[in-house]
Structure formats: C-alpha cells, structure tokens
Amino acid sequence: MPTLERFEEIEAWKKARELTKAVYDVTRAGEFGRDFGLKDQIRRAAVSIMSNIGEGFERGGNKEFKQFLAQAKGSAGEVRSQLYVALDAGLITQPQFDQYYQLSAEIGRLLGGFIKYLSETEYEGSKFK
C-alpha cells in the first residue's frame, strides 16, 4: 500500500463522505425531515464513519487506528439498520434504500479489509511498513 499522507486519501473515508452527503440530502426533505429522532440518529451514524476514520488516522498508532476503524465499521452497520427503519416507515423509496444500503455496505467491506491489512502491517502515523 502506498504511503498515505492524509486521511482524505483513504477510499473508505471518501465513500463515507459521499454517504453522509446523501443522508443529509434525503433527511432534509419531506416527512423524513420532520422525523427528528431518526433523522438525527442516521445523520450522527453517517458522520461517525467519517469522523472515526479521520481521528484514528491522526492518532498515529496501528492499534488505535484499528479500534477507530472498527468503530467506523460499526457505524456503517448502524446506518444500514436505520435505513430499514426509514424504508419501513415510508420515509425513503426502495431505490433510495438500495443505493444507500449498497454504499454503506461497501464502506463496511472497505473498512474490514483495511483493518485486516493493518493487522498484518506496522503503522506509524501516516507511514505503513
């Protein structure tokens, strides 16, 4: 893996940013915008993915980074679960569900692969050995 200089270079972070934007867009309008509990919860979970990747990267150690990535992976699962609630409540359409579910599942897979890679590699700051 090439040296990463910034967490913004991590593919899972880029996808998490895309998911967060989509979640904010869909929760801004209509009935979803008025469901304050679910709207706030799914937004927090989406933001948590990005935040944990960034914070873990900046911590500078392999063990801590893996813990933050695991937390981000958990948040991706939380988003997927909340998408079911939104779908069942009629707050999003099936195509929206499918799109956001696929993106959050992809983030989870990317994070799982990254965690595995880090388990087999030494990481110091932004340097992989």
Domains annotated on the chain, with CATH: 11-128 (1.20.1440.60)
Whole-angstrom Cα distance, residue 93 to residue 103? 16
Which ranges in 61-93 belong to alpha helices (H)? 62-88
Q: Tell me the average confidence (pLDDT) per consecutive run of 10 residues in the chain, 129 residues long.
A: 83 98 96 95 98 93 92 98 98 97 98 93 58
For residue 4, the model assigns a pLDDT of 82
The pLDDT value recorded for residue 122 is 66
| 8 Å CB contact between 116 and 69 | no
Q: Residue 96's Cα: distance from chain center in Å?
A: 17
Among candidate residues 95, 51, 97, the one with its CA nearest the CA of residue 74: 51
The model carries a pTM of 0.90
